[in-house]
């Protein structure tokens, strides 16, 4: 019986490092290319690192900033409309309610999912991933990896509300029906989306399997 190294050593234990530039797999052992005690990728020459530097700290910084902006993104108006009937401002929630009352249930549900459910779920999932890594948890590793892959997949669709506001503003201006301008809520919401994408990008999913 073998009591030394594990029967299935990890890539980190075998010093197999993936290049962050070209994604090539390199073995950081032997006489390979080095510069100032730093291993270089054999394909593109980028400096190799076993893990993304300050991954958890950077992800937390972006996540905290996104969480701080999430409240004003939902409370501040995303559109300001001026017409012969008067002026009106709408937040994300009031816009969803208007679509629902007008009978556009599918569009209201889509905007609600993309603008409320997805951003809040991303904040919760990212917090869970970061806390589990910091606590060196060994539970549900595959589930956590799948959650991370899901965050990468749905990240771009969180901008749906910003796209809708932009298209509505252009349509209204062209038809000269009224004057519609994006409100400060759009900027805050867009910042939330970008910050959560940066937090997801900063997080190194390989940390899940280090324990």
Q: What are the tens digits of pLDDT across the range 38-55?
A: 778 777 777 777 777 788
Does residue 43 share a domain with residue 59?
no
Do 35 and 62 fall into the same domain?
no
19 & 77 share domain: no
Q: Are 71 and 144 within one domain?
A: yes
Angle between helices 118-134 and 184-202 (to 10 degrees): 30
Task: Specify whether 118 is located in the same domain as 138.
Answer: yes
CATH of residue 103's domain is 1.20.140
Residues 117 and 35 in one domain: no
One domain, residues 62 and 158: yes
Q: Identify the domain containing residue 66 by its residue range.
A: 55-209
Mean pLDDT of the chain: 76
Q: What is the pTM of this model?
A: 0.73
Q: In which band, very low, low, confident or very high, does the pLDDT at 162 lie, cut at 50, 70 and 90?
A: low
Residues 60, 115: one domain? yes
**Co-location of 106 and 90 in the same domain:** yes
What value does the mean pLDDT take over residues 158-182? 57
Q: What are the strands, taking DSSP E only, across the chain?
A: 16-18, 25-27, 34-35, 38-39, 79-83, 86-90, 179-182
Give the residues across from 63 on adjacent strands. Answer: none
34 and 88, same domain (yes or no): no
Cα–Cα distances in angstroms (integers) from residue 3 to residues 7, 10, 14, 202, in the given order: 9, 16, 18, 37
Residue ending a domain, among 11, 30, 50, is 50
For the chain, the domain total comes to 2
φ/ψ region of 45 (left if φ > 0, alpha if ψ in -120 to 50, else beta) reads: left
Whether residue 61 is found in the same domain as residue 3: no
Domain shared by 25 and 79, yes or no: no
Residue pLDDT, tens place only, 63-98: 999 999 998 888 888 776 665 566 667 777 877 787
How many CA atoms are closer than 13 Å to the CA of 38, on its beta-carbon side? 10
Question: Do residues 64 and 35 make contact, with C-beta atoms less than 8 angstroms apart?
Answer: no
Domain boundary among 15, 32, 50: 50
């Amino acid at each position: 019986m073998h009591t030394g190294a594990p029967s299935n050593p990890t890539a980190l234990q075998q010093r197999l490092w993936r290049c962050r530039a070209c994604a090539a797999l390199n073995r950081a052992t032997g006489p390979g290319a080095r510069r100032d005690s730093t291993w270089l990728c054999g394909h593109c020459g980028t400096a190799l690192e076993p893990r993304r530097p300050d991954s958890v700290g950077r992800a937390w910084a972006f996540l905290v900033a996104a969480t701080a902006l999430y409240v004003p993104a939902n409370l501040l108006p995303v559109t300001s409309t001026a017409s012969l009937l008067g002026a009106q401002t709408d937040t994300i929630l009031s816009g969803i309610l208007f679509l629902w009352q007008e009978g556009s249930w599918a569009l209201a549900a889509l905007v609600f999912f993309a603008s409320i459910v997805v951003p809040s779920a991303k904040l919760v999932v990212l917090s869970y991933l970061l806390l589990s890594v910091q606590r060196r948890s060994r539970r549900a590793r595959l589930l956590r990896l799948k959650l991370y892959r899901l965050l990468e997949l749905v990240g771009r669709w969180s901008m749906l509300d910003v796209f809708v506001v932009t298209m509505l503003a252009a349509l209204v201006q062209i038809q000269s029906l009224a004057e519609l301008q994006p409100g400060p809520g759009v900027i805050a919401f867009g910042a939330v989306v970008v910050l959560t994408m940066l937090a997801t990008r900063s997080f190194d999913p390989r940390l899940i399997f280090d324990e």
